[in-house]
Amino acid sequence: MRNAEERIVEIIKVLRQEYPSSRTALKHETPLQILVATILSAQCTDERVNQITPSLFQKYKTPADFAGAKQEDLEKEIRPTGFFRNKAKSIIQASKKMVEDFGGQVPDSMEELITLPGVARKTANIVLSSAYKKAEGIAVDVHVNRLSRRLDLSREKNPDKIERDLMAIVPKEDWLDFNYMLVNHGRKTCRARKPLCPSCVLNHLCPSYREFYP
């Protein structure tokens, strides 16, 4: 099997053919909405997040609105997403910082985004790519983590180290879409418990194929 640097271009080519319109499944219209939705999506399905955000975004339209929210009220509104206390706290505190330090706007750089409470590189990358079409990194969620190791693109387990390995081999022009293509493939085919290797469009490029189907 060729090494990752030799396989990555073909992997991306195949994924683009299979998932030509890859983008986040989180419904949003503004940078604030994708930021909040991404925070809510931690340890929660995108489908469930999308069920509660329409009414949430109808009520809270700006960072100032979220900054002025009562913790207990916001907790009730986002409870179905799980870990609602920490998520409510992060959203409120991040919104207060946006109001105080960024003129009530969602920052458009990695350096500034990661200063917001509750926002690490994964969330920042999704906001940058989805809201601002900026590529400053590659978001590493559970799907990207799993597929990166199965495809032997990285042998790390830490998301920041996986991102570092991916940024070293994935052409920068593909950074915007790489997360979303792997997420789509992870949901459809390369599932956590039982990957569908025989029907996988990447099985000829995947070192793990014979591990699951010897």
Cα dihedral 94, 97, 101, 103 sign: positive
- The single residue of 87, 97, 122, 174 carrying the catalytic annotation is 122
Active site residue 13: no
Of 85, 87, 43, 36, give the one whose Cα is nearest residue 57: 36
Q: Are 159 and 198 in contact (CB under 8 A)?
A: no
Active site residue 141: yes
Q: Are 98 and 84 in contact (CB under 8 A)?
A: no
Residue 121, both tokens: 């590189």
C-alpha to C-alpha distance for 72 and 139, rounded to whole angstroms = 30
- The single residue of 141, 157, 160, 188 carrying the catalytic annotation is 141
Give the catalytic positions in this structure: 122, 141
